[in-house]
Amino acid sequence: MIAAALSGAAGCAAPTPALEGERYPVPGHGSSLEAPGGEGAVWILTSVPGSLLTFRGVAGSSAEHASMSLVERCAAAPGQPRLAARQLLIGLDDREFLEDQPCQVGGMTGWLQSLDASDGEVRVHLRTVTRLESGCSLDWVLVAPPGARLDAAFDAWWASWSSTREPGGASP
């Protein structure tokens, strides 16, 4: 599901948003995120079909071969963040969970999961945060090589999410 969501199965490509001050607006959501950081990490914003925002690590930086994305999924989103988060792992084998717990995202309960898994022949590290909103799930996704040490940068990135909507999806 991770690969499908980031390869375009989740929907059409959103236009790459322009930086507004020090934040990137999330298209269609009345929200924004800071650019990701991390010690020695360099990220570039790129357009990926099915993604609201995707940053890819630049070659030669500590983020090389990594990506951070925000994806929206609206087809049959389950009513619990944990179940929606688990859907992201469909097709991954040899899952080794490092963290699996509730978290707070913009005043609402979400689900954080961190694990190493196999995607075909490739071993990957995943860290995801899922929040349910208006019948859809918003998924922040880090995909990185195992041992890349980008979890703190990812946590700071998704925690920078700010919305002008009321919790639950209504506009103020």
Question: pLDDT tens per residue, the chain (172 residues)?
Answer: 454 444 333 344 455 667 777 889 888 888 999 989 988 899 999 999 989 999 999 999 999 999 999 999 987 667 899 999 999 999 999 999 999 999 999 888 999 999 999 989 999 999 999 999 888 999 999 999 999 999 999 999 999 998 865 555 443 3
Degrees, nearest 5: CA angle 18-36-62 = 125
Q: Is residue 169 part of a domain?
A: no
Q: Is residue 141 part of a domain?
A: yes
Identify the pLDDT of residue 165.
57
CATH number of the domain enclosing 38: 3.40.1000.10
Structure tokens at 112: 């954080």
Which domain range does residue 124 map to? 2-163
Q: Is residue 172 part of a domain?
A: no
What global pTM score does this model have?
0.85
How many structural domains does the chain have?
Answer: 1
Q: Is residue 28 part of a domain?
A: yes
Identify the pLDDT of residue 158.
96
Q: Is residue 153 part of a domain?
A: yes
Identify the pLDDT of residue 22.
80
Identify the pLDDT of residue 4.
41
Q: Is residue 102 part of a domain?
A: yes
With contact defined as beta carbons under 8 Å apart, do 38 and 152 qualify? yes
d(CA 49, CA 71): 10
Q: Is residue 65 part of a domain?
A: yes
d(CA 122, CA 37): 25
Say which residue the tokens 């924004």 belong to: 32
Q: Is residue 100 part of a domain?
A: yes
